[in-house]
């Protein structure tokens, strides 16, 4: 069900040092690092992300979280997106390939009624 999730951090340097250490003792490490966002996990798959809240518009007392739900295929990602938008959700990113994450990453992002960034993702999409 949950593919990955992320939180926004007000002190990104301190948070990255914290998660490098506490997740390290559990056997997890940085799998991806974009400078303003770090994905932790193992075997090349980041399951937990931290992001610099000052690098975007996610700061403030009610910082959004990011949750990505695993989808069975690209049609399921599209159905998720269509259903969310029909319910009035703000579209953050329409369904598309995200090769900057990895080949085959197909995802769509919407904002839920409480302002959180919610995604559906399929990892086996063919290049278009």
Same domain, 32 and 7: yes
Domain of 16, in residue numbers: 1-55
| pLDDT for 61 | 53
What is the predicted pLDDT for the residue at 73?
A: 95
Q: SS3 sequence, 70-128?
A: ECCCHHHHHHHHHHHHHCCCEEEEEEEECCCCCCCCEEEEEECCCCCEEEEEECCCCCC
Q: Does residue 79 share a domain with residue 37?
A: no
Residues 48, 8, single domain; the answer is: yes
37: CB partners within 8 A, 6+ apart: 6, 49, 50, 51, 52, 55
Q: Indicate the pairing of strand 45-52 with strand 2-9.
A: parallel
**Model pLDDT, residue 60:** 54
Q: What is the CATH number of the domain that holds 34?
A: 3.10.180.10
Token pair in block for residue 38: 């770090």
Q: How far apart, in Å, do the first and last CA atoms of the chain sit?
A: 26
Same domain, yes or no, for 44 and 14? Answer: yes
Signed CA dihedral, 26, 28, 33, 38: sign only = negative
Provide the pLDDT for residue 29. 97
The total number of structural domains that make up the chain: 2
Q: Of 37, 55, 73, which residue sits at a domain end?
A: 55
The pLDDT value given to residue 57: 57
Q: Tell me the pLDDT of the chain (128 aa) as tens digits.
A: 899 999 999 899 999 999 999 899 899 999 999 999 999 999 999 999 999 988 865 545 557 899 999 999 999 999 999 999 999 999 999 999 999 999 999 999 999 887 889 999 999 998 75
Residue that is written with structure tokens 């992300």 in the block: 49
Residue 108 has a pLDDT of 96
- Looking at the structure, tell me whether residues 83 and 34 fall in a common domain: no
């Amino acid at each position: 069900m949950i593919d990955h999730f992320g939180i926004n951090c007000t002190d990104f340097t301190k948070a990255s040092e914290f998660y490098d250490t506490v997740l390290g003792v559990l056997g997890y490490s940085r799998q991806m690092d974009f400078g303003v966002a770090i994905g932790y996990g193992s075997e090349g798959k980041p399951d937990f992300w931290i992001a610099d809240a000052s690098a975007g518009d996610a700061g403030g007392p009610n910082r959004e979280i990011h949750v990505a739900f695993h989808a069975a295929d690209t049609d399921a990602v599209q159905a998720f997106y269509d259903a969310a938008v029909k319910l009035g959700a703000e579209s953050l990113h329409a369904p598309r390939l995200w090769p900057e994450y990895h080949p085959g990453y197909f995802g769509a992002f919407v904002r839920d009624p409480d302002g959180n960034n919610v995604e559906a993702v399929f990892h086996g999409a063919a290049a278009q």
